[in-house]
Amino acid sequence: MGGCTLTPILHRQERLVAALKKHGVPQVSLDEAVREARFMNKTVRYEVDLNHLPPLTAAQEAELKALSELPDSDIDYSEIEPLDEAFWQNAVQNPFYKPTKTSTTVRLDSDVLVWLKSQGKGYQTRMNAILRQAMLRALCPKT
């Protein structure tokens, strides 16, 4: 599959605007239509091919250039509360994170494989979890 696509429900501006007109909403822009559809509890999804994104407009390029040239000292952090130790105690892993899987061949000691399989279904998932714990311990040693 080339790129990431989102299944469209209302994938064209004309269909969304037509649906809103049907509900008595006057002529609106796409942004207004999306806001109105959210207000009307309608789900709006777009099809996006990440390999063929539309080019940035001149205004978007100018905004990105201005932001990239902005020194860190000019960034206003006043509305952001500092992240203290209590915040990190309650932090959880992103529930939508799913690492990619790679198929590979691994040579294991027979007794290790027998032990993994003896734990029941899902021995490859268990093996991955054991290896992930070892990786995290190596990357973030407790001092």
Q: Name residue, tokens 């407790």.
A: 142
The answer to whether the predicted template modeling score (pTM) of the entire model surpasses 0.85 is no
- Considering the chain, what is the average pLDDT of its residues? 78
In the predicted model, what is the mean pLDDT of residues 11-35?
Answer: 61
Please give the residue that has the higher pLDDT: either 67 or 30: 67
* Cα 80 off chain centre by: 22
Looking at the predicted structure, is the pLDDT value of residue 131 above 80?
Answer: yes
- Please state, in angstroms and rounded to a whole number, the distance separating the CA atoms of residues 106 and 112: 12
Looking at the predicted structure, is the pLDDT value of residue 123 above 50?
Answer: yes
Q: Are 10 and 26 in contact (CB under 8 A)?
A: no
Percentage, residues of the chain above pLDDT 70 = 68
Q: Read out DSSP for 65-81?
A: HHHHHS-GGG---TTSP
Rounded to whole angstroms, what are the CA distances from 103 to 42, 100, 127, 128, 137? 40, 10, 13, 12, 24
Looking at the predicted structure, is the pLDDT value of residue 9 above 60?
Answer: no
- Name the residue ranges covered by the structural domains of the chain: 1-53, 103-143
- Please state, in angstroms and rounded to a whole number, the distance separating the CA atoms of residues 45 and 121: 37
Radius of gyration of the chain, Cα coordinates, nearest whole angstrom? 25
Looking at the predicted structure, is the pLDDT value of residue 121 above 90?
Answer: yes
In the predicted model, what is the mean pLDDT of residues 109-138?
Answer: 92
Query: Residue 18: pLDDT band by 50, 70, 90 thresholds?
Result: low
- Please state, in angstroms and rounded to a whole number, the distance separating the CA atoms of residues 46 and 6: 6
Please give the residue that has the higher pLDDT: either 12 or 32: 32
